[in-house]
């Protein structure tokens, strides 16, 4: 954990600092099920969902964005109590607890917002660090869609659906 890291709601002012590392993650296409040619404006619209969706940033003492997350309602109607969330951490700041802090925050906020469960729809099985992190935060791999993800280096790999009650 960084000595001074703040998780707060993101604002449009944060976007340049967010996209600065998000773009590389999107273009790599190894962990995220977004089109690799997603434009900055498309990404901005997707990453700032309408309420009850939320967008968060993790910033250090200098105000640098280290990582970001968003949370959304995963379904409507009778399944509206299930949230989902997505996470991107600047690779230059990985391994320092940014993802864990964002994950804990998102789960806690979703609970406060009245959601009863959190579902991650598409966790690439080769993204082992993320899978281990989400497991440690109480999410279970409910199923793995066989050949659910075409990894640019590994070819077709499994796509986990992870879930926990809140």
Binding mask 75-114 for a second copy (x = CB under 8 A): xxxxxxxx--------------------------------
Q: Pairing relation of β-strands 82-89 and 117-124?
A: parallel
Total residues interacting with a second copy, rule: CB under 8 A: 37
Q: How far apart are CA 100 and CA 149, in angstroms?
A: 24
Does residue 122 interact with a second copy by CB under 8 A?
yes
Instruction: Give the count of alpha carbons within 13 A of 162, CB side only.
Output: 22
Which one of residues 32, 56, 87, 115 is an interface residue with a second copy (CB under 8 A)? 32
Does residue 23 interact with a second copy by CB under 8 A?
no
Q: How far apart are CA 83 and CA 153, in angstroms?
A: 31
Q: Quick one: which of 85, 65, 66 has its CA closest to 74?
A: 85
Which tokens hold the place of 144?
């793995």
Q: Give φ, ψ of 6 to 5 degrees.
A: -115, 135
Which one of residues 30, 52, 135, 137 is an interface residue with a second copy (CB under 8 A)? 30
Q: How far apart are CA 61 and CA 94, in angstroms?
A: 17
DSSP tag of 104? H
Per CB under 8 A, the segment of 25-33, 60-68, 86-94, 131-139 that binds a second copy is 25-33
User: Whole-number minimum distance, CB 76 to a second copy, in Å?
Assistant: 4
Does residue 25 interact with a second copy by CB under 8 A?
no
The residues of the shown chain that bind a second copy, judged by CB under 8 A, are 26, 29-30, 32-36, 38, 75-82, 116-117, 119, 121-122, 124, 142-143, 145-152, 159, 161, 163, 165
């Amino acid at each position: 954990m960084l000595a001074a890291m703040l998780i707060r709601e993101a604002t449009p002012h944060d976007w340049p600092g967010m996209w600065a590392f998000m773009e590389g993650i999107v273009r790599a296409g190894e962990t995220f099920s977004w089109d690799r040619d997603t434009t900055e404006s498309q990404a901005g619209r997707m990453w700032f969902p309408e309420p009850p969706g939320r967008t968060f940033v993790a910033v250090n003492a200098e105000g640098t964005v280290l990582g970001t997350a968003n949370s959304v309602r995963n379904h409507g109607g009778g399944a509206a109590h299930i949230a989902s969330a997505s996470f991107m951490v600047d690779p230059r700041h990985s391994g320092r607890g940014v993802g864990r802090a964002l994950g804990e925050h998102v789960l806690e906020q979703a609970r406060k917002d009245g959601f009863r469960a959190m579902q991650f729809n598409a966790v690439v099985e080769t993204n082992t660090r993320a899978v281990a992190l989400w497991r440690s935060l109480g999410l279970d791999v409910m199923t793995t869609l066989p050949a659910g993800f075409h990894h640019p280096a590994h070819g077709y790999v499994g796509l986990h659906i992870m879930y926990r009650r809140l």
